[in-house]
Amino acid sequence: MTDDTSSGTTAENVTVNLFQPGDGPAVPRPAGAGSFSDVGLLRIDHVGIAVADLDEALRFYAETFGLHCVHQETNEEQGVREAMLAVGDGAGPRLQLLAPARPDSAIAKFLDRSGPGLQQLAYTVADVEAAAAALRARGLRLLYDTPKRGTAGSRINFVHPKDAGGVLVELVEPV
Ligand code: CMX
């Protein structure tokens, strides 16, 4: 621990070592975090934001933040119209805008209860079934017994927000 008396803050150095998940780049792993590796989170895939009107939200993000849509689709099973926006060079996590395609959808219910805003945090995994099994073994509720279809043909599952500190966590296995 180091003291920065000028700003009144303290900083703590954490020992890290590098590991290489799957084919991805080497990333820092906090010392002692080996027991979590069977979940297999590789990186943040996207952050999902619930919006009432997709076209209006796309205009807002383009005009206000200069973010542009790189993928758009309607997922009938999820009852959602969605758009993926790239940030910066597009190499990092994306922003996902989610608008209800029907009134009984999860996004419509979220909007009714909470209004527009952050709805989910999604992680990329190499194997969604293995990640779900590892989280179930820790006592967390997964929303689906078997993965469903997500964006661009990915396979997805979710951890119930009540079991993840109030955050709806999505696991995404890309095609
Ligand atoms: N983030 C945080 N908390 C949430 C939440 C969210 N997105 N959605 C619901 N909650 C909270 C509610 O506020 C409520 O809390 P309180 O009991 O304290 O009031 C509680 O969870 C309700 O839980 P529930 O009755 O079990 O469930 P709901 O009917 O509200 O549905 C959920 C919640 C997560 C099961 C549902 O939204 C769902 O099935 N989500 C997964 C599918 C999805 O989100 N699809 C759209 C995106 C598709 C994609 O990403 O491709």
Strand partners, 124: 43, 172
Which pTM value belongs to this model? 0.88
Q: Is the CB of 124 under 6 A from ligand 1?
A: no
Which of ligand 1's atoms lies nearest the C-alpha of 162? 21
Predicted local distance difference test score (pLDDT) of residue 142: 98
Using alpha carbons, select from 125, 120, 121 the residue that is nearest to residue 37: 125
Which tens digit of pLDDT belongs to each residue from 1-57?
Answer: 555 556 666 777 665 555 444 444 555 555 444 445 799 999 999 999 999 999 999
Contact 156, 148 (CB under 8 A): yes
Under a CB-based contact definition with an 8 Å cutoff, are residues 41 and 131 in contact? yes
Taking the centre of ligand 1 as the mean of its atom positions, its distance from the CA of residue 141, in whole angstroms, is 12
For β-strands 41-50 and 94-100, DSSP reports them as parallel
Encode pLDDT of 133-171 as tens digits: 999 999 999 999 999 999 999 999 999 999 999 999 999
Tell me: pLDDT of 69 over 60.
yes
Q: Check if 80 has its Cβ closer than 6 Å to any atom of ligand 1.
A: yes
> In terms of DSSP bridges, do strands 16-19 and 27-30 run parallel, antiparallel, or are they unpaired?
antiparallel
Does the beta carbon of 106 lie inside 6 Å of ligand 1? yes
Confidence at 92, pLDDT banded by 50, 70, 90: very high
Average pLDDT, the chain: 89
Ligand 1 center–CA 36 separation, angstroms: 25
**Does 51 contact ligand 1 (Cβ within 6 A)?**
no
Tell whether ligand 1 has an atom less than 6 A from the beta carbon of residue 49: no
DSSP secondary structure letter of residue 16:
E
* Closest ligand 1 atom, residue 96 Cα: 50
- The atom number, within ligand 1, closest to the CA of 109 reads 30
